[in-house]
Amino acid sequence: MGLKIGMLTSGGDCQGLNSAMRGVAKRLYEHDKDVEIIGFLDGYAGLMFRNFRQMSIDDFSGILTIGGTILGTSRQSFKTMHDPLFSNQKDGPTKLEAMIQTYEELHLDCLVILGGNGSHKTANLLSEKGLNIISLPKTIDNDLWGTDMTFGFQSAVNIATEVIDGIHSTALSHGRAFIVEIMGHKVGWMTLHAGIAGGADVILIPEIPYDPMSVAAAVNRRAREHKRFSIIAIAEGAKTKEEAKMSKSDYQEKIEKSPLTSVAYRLASVLDKLSIQEVRCVVPGHFQRGGTPSAYDRVLTTALGVEAADMILDKKFGRMVGIVNGKVVGIPLKEVAGKLKSVPLDHYLVADARKTGIFFGDEQLDYV
């Protein structure tokens, strides 16, 4: 009897989920045509509520270039894993117990989990409870600890860069300052890469709190140097120096009270009063997570998927498959779970960007 493998995609969607599952499946089918793959629908929810479908080799054909996930996905908070599965049944199983029960009743040999930070904390919890787990690093934020690159990141950067590229002509035509908001709540990898690639003049990321007055000064200085426009790439999680000093609750309260929920529009409301140029905002939002995966991500997910399958065959469980120094390796889940990979302040890209004149909002510039 062949292997019986479960598979699910958890958390936010991104490009490359389908191609990663394809890589795992094609390698397993190549090894044993009798392998049985069960796809859990809508992430961990499918595992909790036994919502799954039997996959066939045909399900993994023709999905290399398709974005999103054929299994569907959902967000399940790690903090609630010990809560009752059904809120009205206090004596029933917890969410964690329900997932373990499904795994055991289906007699799975391994569960393959494709997810980001939160998903990996749950994956590690399941591994600690004795389940055979292999995970793959999915997130456009590239913020998973233990891997140099996550899949979905490069595809999303390409889209964000195209947005910034497209803004150049209208910014030039009208002589305006444009603020482009890039996804990234906690880290600025996407904004840093897309900002440099798109030729942004100002890059604002969560790791480097900024001074709005200095940003306005930088925009005005460019205008007085007869530069017709300025482009500001800002991460959705960027904070001012004042906001960075706030407690999490105080900051959340400030955001909830603000009529402007978008960081780009909050910055624009300040620059409107200080800039000598008109200010406009562009928020591409979830568009950055959609569409076909880039060639880079197709290659990356295939390599990660094949390695994940090989780890299953070699019974090397409790690991996330990642890229370290150009090599595909397995990283223990316990070393990955709960850790965030932020942009180091001394990262070479930050230093190189500064050397080309890109402003990060942290330097004090006199407002004139």
**Predicted local confidence at residue 210, as pLDDT:** 97
Same domain for 115 and 26: yes
Same domain for 21 and 135: yes
Give me the CATH number covering residue 207. Answer: 3.40.50.460
Helix, strand, coil % in the chain, rounded to nearest 5: 40, 20, 40
Is residue 71 in a domain? yes
Same domain for 163 and 144: no
**Predicted local confidence at residue 222, as pLDDT:** 94
Same domain for 141 and 27: yes
CB atoms within 10 A of CB 295: 12
Residue by residue, what is the 3-state secondary structure of 6-24? EEEECCCCCCCHHHHHHHH
Q: Which residues are catalytic?
A: 141
Is residue 365 in a domain? no
Give me the CATH number covering residue 33. Answer: 3.40.50.450
For 266, the domain range is 156-289+344-355
Is residue 307 in a domain? yes
- Helix, strand, or coil here: 174? helix
Whole-structure pTM value? 0.95
Same domain for 144 and 49: yes
Is residue 362 in a domain? no
Number of domains in the chain: 2
Same domain for 66 and 179: no
Same domain for 349 and 228: yes
Same domain for 266 and 196: yes
Distances (CA, A) of 311 to 2, 27, 190, 319, 357: 16, 11, 30, 9, 46
**Predicted local confidence at residue 11, as pLDDT:** 93
Is residue 360 in a domain? no
Is residue 86 in a domain? yes
> pLDDT tens track of the chain, all 368 residues?
689 999 999 999 999 999 999 999 999 999 999 999 999 999 999 999 999 999 999 999 999 999 999 999 999 999 999 999 987 777 889 999 999 999 999 999 999 999 999 999 999 999 999 999 999 999 999 999 999 999 999 999 999 999 999 999 999 999 999 999 999 989 999 999 999 999 999 999 999 999 999 999 999 999 999 999 999 999 999 999 999 999 999 999 988 888 887 999 999 999 999 888 999 999 999 999 999 999 999 999 999 999 999 999 999 999 999 999 999 999 999 999 999 999 999 999 999 999 999 999 998 887 65
Same domain for 202 and 166: yes
Is residue 363 in a domain? no
Same domain for 181 and 224: yes
Same domain for 82 and 61: yes
Is residue 361 in a domain? no
Same domain for 206 and 68: no
